[in-house]
Amino acid sequence: MHPAPSVIVFTTLSGLGFGLLFFLGLGMPGATGGVAFVFFALAYALAVGGLLASTFHLGHPERAWKAFTQWRSSWLSREGCAAVAALLIMGLYAIGRIFYAADWQFLGGIGAMLSLTTVFTTSMIYAQLKTIPRWNMALVPVKFLTFALAGGALLAGQETLATWLLLIAGAVALAYWQRGDRAFATAGSDIGSATGLGDRGAVRAFEPPHTGSNYLLREFVHVVGRKHSLKLRVIGVSLAFVLPLLFLLLPVSGLALKHTLAGLAVVSHIAGVFCCRWLFFAEAEHVVGLYYGKR
């Protein structure tokens, strides 16, 4: 799949934002007043910024509001509804924490669950697609959720939780790649099944369907070299999980140094997630590629 920058920014930032909102909804950290304002402002900047970035991939961004009407059948619509509900509930919860030093736990709990629901619905936009075997698996929502929780715990300053969640998210990322590399082959799709001629024997393309590029080739047929892919996987895992874990586990004294390392862990993690998310799209193989001899 073509790794559109707007979708990469959307899935990365919104996951981090809603991950942070999840922990804030559970009272982690339990800050109030100005400190709480900083945490909620950061969470909203990431979540809303990511959602706005997604509209740049639309042919008609001004019609984005129509997505809310298809919640019965569309995961994209469900994502929009869940996101708005989460932001509204967490907004009320934030008012209590910032202006009244009140921890309205009931609202926070609902907002936290809606925040995770939003991340889940985002993942299902991709996991539901049978035409992309690498995405059509249960590990995709697990990956989105663990990435969001790990990043949210880091941003919320929950170092102990973040350590465990980073380990889990890193393991999920490796498992996703290990299974995803076999997904297209195990799905049983080839040029014979794609054309419906497979029952007549071996099928091969006589000549390509087009002499030039077209929309399908631009959007659905993006080829990444294996060496390039492996190199980016190592970079992504190192930045997203290995380095943050090292920063968190280093035995240091002094609050200033500890906060500096925590900040570096956050920056490294975000950079690594961007890299992993680019691969999530770039490595995905759409069955339409069979018509163009890309398998």
Domain-located, residue 133: no
If one counts the domains in the chain, the total is: 2
**120 and 161, same structural domain?**
no
Residue closest to 119 by CA, chosen among 195, 226, 47, 185: 47
**233 and 116, same structural domain?**
no
* pLDDT > 90? residue 57: no
190 CB-near residues (< 8 Å, 6+ apart): 198, 203, 290, 295
Domain-located, residue 44: yes
* pLDDT > 70? residue 192: no
**96 and 36, same structural domain?**
yes
Confidence tier at 252 by pLDDT (50, 70, 90): confident
Q: Between 61 and 116, where is the model more confident?
A: 116
Task: Write the Ramachandran bin of 196: left for phi over 0, alpha for psi from -120 to 50, otherwise beta.
Answer: left
pTM (2 d.p.): 0.89
**124 and 27, same structural domain?**
yes
Query: pLDDT for 4-26, tens place per residue?
Result: 888 999 999 999 999 999 999 99
Domain-located, residue 121: yes
* Mean pLDDT computed over 221-233: 77
Among residues 128, 149, 170, the one where a domain terminates is 128
**82 and 35, same structural domain?**
yes
Instruction: Average the pLDDT over each of 204-208, 235-239, 270-274 and give the range with the smallest value.
Output: 204-208
Domain-located, residue 146: no
Q: Between 210 and 127, where is the model more confident?
A: 127
How far apart are the C-alpha atoms of 129 and 144, rounded to whole Å? 16
**275 and 166, same structural domain?**
yes
**31 and 102, same structural domain?**
yes
**97 and 59, same structural domain?**
yes
**105 and 238, same structural domain?**
no
Domain-located, residue 14: yes
Among residues 128, 146, 179, the one where a domain terminates is 128
- State what percent of residues in the chain have pLDDT above 70: 82
Query: pLDDT for 80-100, tens place per residue?
Result: 999 999 999 999 999 999 999
How far apart are the C-alpha atoms of 201 and 114, rounded to whole Å? 51
**283 and 161, same structural domain?**
yes
User: What is the reported pLDDT for 89?
Assistant: 97
Helix (H, G, I), strand (E, B) or coil at 254: coil
* Mean pLDDT computed over 54-60: 71
Query: pLDDT for 103-118, tens place per residue?
Result: 899 999 999 999 999 9
Confidence tier at 198 by pLDDT (50, 70, 90): low
**62 and 16, same structural domain?**
yes
In the numeric block, the tokens 């799209």 are attached to: 281
**123 and 15, same structural domain?**
yes
Measured CA distances, 254 to 93, 259, 261 (Å): 33, 9, 11
Confidence tier at 184 by pLDDT (50, 70, 90): confident
How far apart are the C-alpha atoms of 60 and 31, rounded to whole Å? 41
User: What is the reported pLDDT for 202?
Assistant: 75
Domain-located, residue 257: yes
User: What is the reported pLDDT for 225?
Assistant: 59
Domain-located, residue 139: no
Domain-located, residue 271: yes
* Domain of 41, in residue numbers: 1-128
Among residues 88, 112, 128, the one where a domain terminates is 128
User: What is the reported pLDDT for 209?
Assistant: 62
